[in-house]
Structure 1
């Protein structure tokens, strides 16, 4: 059982990390209990953080497998289970689960009836009469107000 528990520990410790696991970080510790469905009223994510913080070395970020076993004793007491029952549930859950991310509904994006102007008409297009570089760089003579001489002649 300890061998299986160690492999689950190592899988969670390595999950989402590019560097080799030298122990388990707090985020992985909480993810383990979340993925195994072990959070309840008696044992919350805050409790998991407190247990982890009490066992990690001062100034460190990770706990070893031996510290993890001590953490399981504390969690089992908190959840009113035996350590073997708790370890069995963790081993039965297997390794970490990649759940992915799903965007929340946004009424301004999802409700197309609320769209306005350009988005409502299908978005911008390169040939919508946009100004060209030649038009933006018009170097014809202008007076002090910035009006080109050709435009001032037409106005009169």
Structure 2
């Protein structure tokens, strides 16, 4: 595996979630862990705790740094290979698995809603009560006519059950 392929994978995970693809190729701890999760490199012997510890080791980066560059990334991979396979010489196995994998994935992200759920909510034949009065027989909305009660008595200012219309002034 070439160094270029590994660097491409490194850059793709660095750019994941960043605003632009032109961002500096440095990786933080969350993207470091995401790479191992997405490429399914964890097992019972090698866990996310191990990658967190390796990322923060002084051989990889200083305490004040929050992100690693490509050279530090390669050093961290050597330490990961030692933990996962028992020897730093097996780093090539780990690099091959990383390069064989795809870039960052978005599993578990929110998907766009399907039309079926929206159709059910906008089907006016299933509406009850006063809501069904807002639509005509074809399902098209009536607009303002469907939302307001244009009763003659309501326009005159009287309540529905009032029987003494026009009797107040006659007294």
- TM interval, shorter chain, is 0.5 to 0.7
Query: Unaligned regions of 5+ residues in structure 1, if any?
Result: 104-121, 127-131, 133-156
Aligned residues: 135
Q: Which moved more, 1:61-70 or 1:76-85?
A: 76-85
- 1:45, CA displacement in angstroms? 0.8
Residue of 92, 106, 112 corresponding to 1:98: 106
TM-score by length of 2: 0.58
Pairwise CA RMSD: 3.7
Q: Check the 8 A contact 1:57/1:63 in 2, yes or no.
A: no
After the TM superposition, list the runs of 4 or more consecutive aligned residues in structure 1 that deviate by more than 4 angstroms. Answer: 122-126
Task: State whether structure 2 residue 37 is matched by structure 1 residue 29.
Answer: no
User: How many angstroms apart in 2 are the aligned matches of 1:88 and 1:22?
Assistant: 21
Alpha-carbon distance in structure 1 between the residues aligned to 2:76 and 2:84: 12
Question: Greater RCO between the two (CA within 8 Å, min separation 6)?
Answer: 1
Deviation track 1:19-76 (CA, whole Å, cap 9, x = no partner) reads 5134111111001111111011111111111111112332222101111111111110
Separation in 1, partners of 2:61, 2:102: 24
Pairwise CA distance, 1:10: 0.5
Specify the alignment match of 1:48 in structure 2: 51
Residues 95-148 of structure 1: CA distance to partner in whole angstroms, max 9, x if unpaired?
111224259xxxxxxxxxxxxxxxxxx78899xxxxx9xxxxxxxxxxxxxxxx
From 76, 89, 107, the counterpart of 1:71: 76
SS at match of 1:91: helix
- The residue number in structure 1 matching 2:62 is 57
- Once the two structures are superposed, the pairs formed by residues 116-127 of structure 1 within 5 Å of their partners are none
Structure with larger Rg: 2
